[in-house]
Amino acid sequence: MPKLLDIILALDAEDRRALSAIWIERSPDGGWQARCSICRDKFSNSSVSPGVGLMAWERVPNQEYPLDLDELDRDRAMRAQAAALQESGLIGTLDLARYDREDRSTAYLIKTHAGSQRERTHWLLSLKERPENTLYADEA
């Protein structure tokens, strides 16, 4: 079963750039799953004149992937997988939160590109300048 970094590497480069959050939660079969929320820029492929800034977001249906998560040491394992993903730099600075729900189930939310507004803007501009900007572009 894949780890979180494997799941993100399996996304195409455009989906990695548009990834806004990852929910880690129980899957219907009782295991764990990563649900990737993606919001793409509707105008990224349009022929808008240079210097004209248009942005509108469209949600893509959530993509769900089985996730290898150690049940006996779940919190530590989740933090370790998030740290490996953070280290890769593939989806910017991450914030991780644990949710203990009323039904006693637990979920985790990883917010991508979660640094300061300045950091997010700089990161987005670097992608616009170099759309092929991924660590593993040749392997995709």
DSSP state for residue 68 in the 8-state scheme: -
For the chain, residues with pLDDT lower than 70 are: 41-58, 117, 119-140
* Predicted pLDDT at 42: 58
User: Does residue 136 lie in a domain region?
Assistant: no
* Predicted pLDDT at 55: 52
End-to-end CA distance of the chain: 19
Q: List the domain range (segments joined by +) for residue 64.
A: 4-129
Ramachandran bin of 92, using left for φ above 0, alpha for ψ from -120 to 50, beta for the remaining angles? left
| Count of the separate structural domains present in the chain | 1
> What is the rounded distance in angstroms from the CA atom of residue 14 to the CA atom of residue 48?
19
User: Does residue 118 lie in a domain region?
Assistant: yes
* Predicted pLDDT at 56: 58
User: Does residue 47 lie in a domain region?
Assistant: yes
DSSP state for residue 1 in the 8-state scheme: -
Decide: pTM greater than 0.85.
no
User: Does residue 41 lie in a domain region?
Assistant: yes
* Predicted pLDDT at 132: 45
> CA geometry: angle at 29 spanning 34 and 1, to 5°?
50
